[in-house]
Structure 1
Amino acid sequence: MNSALTLSVLSMPTAWVGPVNPLPPLFRAGDPHVVADLGDADEELSRNAGYGRVSSVMPYLMQDSYGRERTTAEHRVAVLENDVLRATFLLDAGGRLWSLIHKPSGRELLFSNPVFQPANLALRNAWFAGGVEWNIGTIGHTPTTCEPLHAVRAVRPDGTPVLRMYEYERLRRVVFQIDAYLPESSPVLLVHVTIVNPNDHEVPMYWWSNIAVPQGENVRVVAPADEAYRFTYDKTIRRVAVPESDGLERTYPSRAVNSSDLFFDIPAGSRHWIAALDGAGAGLVQTSTKRLAGRKLFVWGKHTGGERWQEWLSEPGQGYLEIQAGLARTQLEHLPMPAHAQWRWVEAYGLAQADPVAVHGDWAQARAAVESGLDELVDATGLDKELLAAESWVDSAPVEHLHSGTGWGALEHRLRVAAGDHSFERAATPFPEHTLGPEQLPWISLLDTGELPAGDVSTPPPSYQVAPEWGPLLEDAQGWLPCLLRGVLQCSSGDVEAAEKSWFASITEMPNAWAWRNLGALFVHRGEHETAVEAYAKAHRLAPGLLALSLEYVGLLLELNRQAHALAVIAGLPAEHRQDGRVRLFEARCAVDTGDLARAGRLIDEGIVVPAIRESNVALSDLWLGYQAKRGGPIAELPRDYDFRMHPRGE
């Protein structure tokens, strides 16, 4: 068949992401990617690992209101198809490549999750497992992973339809563009990526294509490297031999004991690729042009916590692993992207087939066999030619609008044009005015009139801005709301003293929970705990019905060992909030700490489910073990439902 691009819907059991948390994440929470010990890192890796780190994910708001109840729902998808492959993309979820089917064999090459279940693994909290995720901006799962992307139809000169997905990334203030296409009879899906830095300054840049594939007992991950950097949850970088180090085989994920990252150190001049092949020597291979230099293997490990995480993200029996490709050698790094630069590369995805005896034998033979099969599928010269040929069409205007992303690109375009900056006027990636919505409307008013709408003081602002161009406009505007928003911008730029003054000015204009809460978060950041408790108490009195605020308040009280105060706050919450898993966890912790074991036992036996429990968070296992210790006698086995530990034992 000729290559085709169509729109469709995909039905699956779904737990929707839900509305955003309206409280701005002013200070970044614990980051599992922070490097505590550079260990064996070389000079380049050490430099990049310390470059470009962000203090928060502002101006994005957190996505943490999802649950665990699923209903069958329809997801809008785009489908690319030729006579060899069928590729399905989730348009409302970061443009995720959700499925890649090899039609002659009927084989699904990716881990196409049978459910859509968010969990707390991304920069904004909500993340879901499966397919190929496009990560941009800063270290971690991208802010756009649970957001819609703009999608349009473009056309190559030979008539091949192109699915173009793009968005404005607010953290780095760049535009990214993904052009996916399947030429007639092509055995590989081609994905051309463009990142545009429209700014007058350098920005730290990060990109990783995160590929989930099924895990089986005989699956081996092969890449063209003899050494790798290994990073585990002790946050130390270690250089190890591949395929074996410390007596352990690293390239068979099913044999891994603990969760870990393995970043293959591909020698200069080598072709860049990675494959996950089964016992028959077949499976997904990913390759690219040279700019996408890094390759990684992530495994959950064969321990209860790792297995529990896979069940949490999918269903029992749905094990998977991740093979990934990125701009830097590791995911612990940012690279400097010059002002007004455009970075481009081409990726290819397809079915690799090689001699299984070679694939599962000597490492050098395995690499040679896979690379030979890859060359037959798509050779390096062919990809380089594809990248060069794309220059004739990749910047062309689309021929049809297919799907709308967010309105932030349209607003950024307005902001820049008002300053005489036309850098957002790219034909390939239009940001239509019709995408502007409630989140952008206050900023349009500020830009057009110099004032913000008065706003209901009992309702939190729908959005925030941290770009410096908004600062002068907020300085000139009058009222409690401009003072509040100005403080957030100042805090994000590092001027916390000015932020404090702005929030107190907001309260002077009109007492409001949002400024008091921000002051509370600032005082916590400074270690001024007494003042923080007072600020949170005032915020909570003004907005007692906001669960997100109650959780922050109670969490602070627990950190300060004020269990009686925390229980009093919990007792005053609405009944439906007291049933939230996070509140029940806090209540049980208080009960254990105060010796009320009957209360703790009741909560634990009824079951405490925390949908947004964070990767590497051990609060549930600590609760159980603490409860058992207080009871005395033999400690019962930790229930599987409470075990989310990522590193229960060393290797």
Structure 2
Amino acid sequence: MRYATLRPASPSPELVAHQPTDWPTIAPATQTAPATHSAAHTATPPLVTRPPTETPFEIPASPEPTPMATTTASPTALPTTDPEPVWVYWDEIKIDTYAYEEARYTDPNGAGHPYPLLNWDRVGPPRPRTYRTLVMRNEYLELTFLPDLGGRLYQCRYLPTGQTLLYNNRTIKPTRWGPPDQGWWLAVGGIEFALPVEEHGYLTAEPWTPDVIRGDDGSAAVIMRIEEQSRQIAAEVEIGLRPGEAGFEINSTLRNLSDESRPLQYWINAMLSPGGHGVEPTWRFYYPTSDVIVHSRGDESLPDAFERMPWPIYDGRDLSRYDTWHSRLGFFAPDLDAPYTAVYDEVARIGMVRTFPPVIARGAKLFAFGQDVDTDAYTDDDSRYVEMWGGLTATFWDDFTLAPQAAVGWQENWYVIADCQGISYANEKAAAYAFREGDELSLAVCAPAARQWEIEIAQDEHDLIRRSLTLRPDVPFHERIALAPGSETLPIAIRIIDETGRIVISFTA
């Protein structure tokens, strides 16, 4: 469901105003009529609400996430009261930042675009800097945005345990990566929106214009807008959060404002570190495909760029396990068997799932550094992260041509999975994991919202389980099922059915 259908609601009794000259200050504001989307947008939405007990925050020096609570059974009933509406409020964050802004300069004729280049000799040492943030929060997730650094979703925090899902560089640092015709990229973290060329695009360090809309059901959405100058593309990214859900929607719309066709690329790049700050050997990557195309690699035992590589097993190595990675590897997965990708930490017991419409969003990419890589190029604390990309084109080597005055867009869903053990199949409604060990089947089901469904498990046309299934985002379903002796090679059919009789998930273990 597109959040474009949302209408700004009347302000609630608790309102705050963002003060342009002193924006850390939160002060009560008088009620005003809701703005319409046809009105001019300023750099700061005028009125948003916030929880009364919140305070400004900083990146912690050494975060220690709360361990996942052990959950071994489904809740017996769904919540009987409606969840509270989504909170939205302004805040601030202090981050050490290299003095790169003084080193920027433009050379439109030489570079072929109007965006800043970097004089590396003029980049100064890091210093504390305060950034404004826009925060959305429900009972399960807290989403923090940095409008002035690419309009990025900077952090996603899972509130039942306090664990974070996105990587945040503790010192924002310019790197020599990025588009070849720009020659640098700002290593910040979070989820960035890369346009209009490959390798992070031109806009991830540019300020985007934020807006906030609310829905009658208590949902809210943050909209980030920018007009890309080299190709005259108006970009709008809308991130929506509903009450009582541990997931969010990303709606992207690109519109060609010119009278000429424009070749372009658009990618959503999530820099992930679920459960803490950095990458752990216990991470698993879930890309449902049998082969991938290598984009780049530092590990010379792997196929070179442009070559296909079996996935996940290559030369006896299970590359879905991060502890088998060396140096660096990036690959595209244009032929997924199902439209999802995911990352999960088996020890922290938390991860992130992305689902998307593959007819439009054809690109899926994974990139990570191994534990043996020197990280000084992008960070000062030896931390690592994984990039999970999704895009309009299948690879960085392809362009999408947008016709004059035409638009393209899609909605994708991201959600947290907690205590789900892994992933065998996922879609926008749920993720399931099934693991066979001898004469026993271990099953886990996670959903981003509270659900009352039916589950059916059968083997060789004999029912093993047929009963109701109740889920909450913080309480997954777990079951261990005894199998008949000698049935180890017989497939197991697993189906989850919603209250209308429609199949939510169906797969074979």
Shorter-normalised TM-score: what interval?
0.5 to 0.7
The amino acid of 1:286's aligned partner reads R
**Cα 1:370/1:205, change in 2 over 3 Å:** farther
Deviations 1:523-549 (A, max 9, x none): xxxxxxxxxxxxxxxxxxxxxxxxxxx
Deviations 1:361-417 (A, max 9, x none): xxxxxx9629997873379xxxxxxxxxxxxxxxxxxxxxxxxxxxxxxxxxxxxxx
Distance 2:305 2:364 in 1: 19
Distance 2:175 2:197 in 1: 19
Secondary structure of 2:177's counterpart equals strand
Deviations 1:598-631 (A, max 9, x none): xxxxxxxxxxxxxxxxxxxxxxxxxxxxxxxxxx
Does residue 254 of structure 1 match 2:337?
A: no
Contact 2:432 2:446 in 1 (8 A): no
Aligned to 1:271: 339
Contact 1:277 1:284 in 2 (8 A): no
Contact 1:132 1:210 in 2 (8 A): yes
Aligned to 2:89: 6
Give the Å deviation of 1:10.
0.5
Aligned to 1:90: 146
Aligned to 2:158: 102
Unaligned ranges ≥5, structure 1: 28-55, 361-366, 380-651
Does residue 334 of structure 1 match 2:405?
A: no
The amino acid of 1:248's aligned partner reads R
Aligned to 1:346: 411
Aligned to 1:627: none
**Aligned-residue CA RMSD (Å):** 2.8
Distance 2:355 2:127 in 1: 37
Does residue 154 of structure 1 match 2:225?
A: no
Secondary structure of 1:261's counterpart equals strand
TM-score norm. by structure 1 comes to 0.48
Does residue 377 of structure 1 match 2:448?
A: yes
Match of 2:228 among 169, 178, 190: 169
Match of 2:264 among 205, 224, 246: 205
Aligned to 1:59: 114
Aligned to 1:288: 356
TM-score norm. by structure 2 comes to 0.61
Deviations 1:411-446 (A, max 9, x none): xxxxxxxxxxxxxxxxxxxxxxxxxxxxxxxxxxxx
Select the structure that is richer in helix. Answer: 1
Give the Å deviation of 1:132.
0.8
Deviations 1:336-372 (A, max 9, x none): 222222212122222124653x659xxxxxx962999
**Cα 1:319/1:23, change in 2 over 3 Å:** closer
The amino acid of 1:179's aligned partner reads E
Deviations 1:259-315 (A, max 9, x none): 2212123346x3233334333552122222332222211022344xxx32x344223
**Cα 1:73/1:202, change in 2 over 3 Å:** same
**Cα 1:332/1:157, change in 2 over 3 Å:** farther
Aligned to 1:182: 241
**Cα 1:193/1:117, change in 2 over 3 Å:** same
Distance 2:254 2:409 in 1: 7
The amino acid of 2:242's aligned partner reads P
Number of residue pairs matched? 339
Distance 2:151 2:197 in 1: 18
Distance 2:160 2:356 in 1: 24
Aligned to 1:78: 134
**Cα 1:131/1:295, change in 2 over 3 Å:** same
**Cα 1:244/1:342, change in 2 over 3 Å:** same
Give the Å deviation of 1:238.
1.0
Contact 2:102 2:123 in 1 (8 A): no
Give the Å deviation of 1:199.
2.3
The amino acid of 2:214's aligned partner reads V
Distance 1:343 1:99 in 2: 27
Match of 1:118 among 160, 165, 174: 174
**Cα 1:239/1:96, change in 2 over 3 Å:** same
Larger radius of gyration: 1
**Cα 1:118/1:106, change in 2 over 3 Å:** same
Contact 1:352 1:370 in 2 (8 A): no
Contact 1:275 1:352 in 2 (8 A): no
**Cα 1:374/1:232, change in 2 over 3 Å:** farther
Give the Å deviation of 1:20.
5.5
Does residue 193 of structure 1 match 2:248?
A: no
Give the Å deviation of 1:5.
1.5
Distance 1:353 1:241 in 2: 29
Secondary structure of 1:94's counterpart equals coil
Distance 2:444 2:392 in 1: 24
